[in-house]
Amino acid sequence: MKARPDRTFRPRLVRSFFSGEAKGDGGLLESPVVVGLGNPGRSYERTRHNVGYLVADELATRHAGSWRKRKKAEAAPITLGLVEATLLKPTTFMNNSGSAVSGYRPEDLVVVHDDLDLETGTVRVKVGGGAGGHNGLRSIIGGLGNDFVRVRVGIGRPPVGVGVTDYVLSRMDSGVKEAIPAAADAVEFLLEQGPEAAMNRFNVRG
């Protein structure tokens, strides 16, 4: 009895949260934009701070997304069932991530990022909130406000004697790597069923 109403409601929930409009830069945004935060360049590829990039890459692989260069980002359109989305990897370096998403509405964004305040390998979904010391989030909030969804990937706190900058820019450990597919799962679930359902599913403490 419950399956039928849920199936008819799901697309309506997604579309009501992620409504789009024509943007001033000429691009049409009629679907959610998944922003994987990170730094461009080979020296940063496997660092903790680049987990957002890697989640975006995982989603592109799963859904045959093809990356194309834009002025301040790489973008790949993908389709998940009834939802058409765009994957975005800013190429502006972390501290200036906001400039890569300045043409979008915050309520259309799903931002995937590393999080020092979560245990290594933990995946959580959140709507709104502050930057929590994350320079990429700070840049986006400074330009657009905080009315966007985040998929947070825990990297844990640095050990005693290691600075935060050195820690986030060092190579990720196995726990963070193993969280990448789970974070991609969270994004997929969020896009198909909405942020509230995703928080209910992924924010349950085990």
- Residues with catalytic function: 49
Give me the DSSP letters along 46-77: TBGGGHHHHHHHHHHHHTT---EE-SSEEEEE
Question: How far is it, in rounded angstroms, from Cα 31 to Cα 24?
Answer: 16
Counting runs of H as helices and runs of E as strands, what totals does the chain give?
A: 7, 9
Residue 15 corresponds to which amino acid?
Answer: R
Question: How far is it, in rounded angstroms, from Cα 120 to Cα 130?
Answer: 20
Per DSSP bridges, beta strands 21-22 and 28-29 are antiparallel
Q: Which two tokens stand for residue 8?
A: 């008819």
- Nearest CA among 197, 3, 195 for reference residue 110: 195
Task: Show Cβ contacts of residue 158 under 8 Å, excluding neighbours closer than 6 positions.
Answer: 116, 164, 166, 167
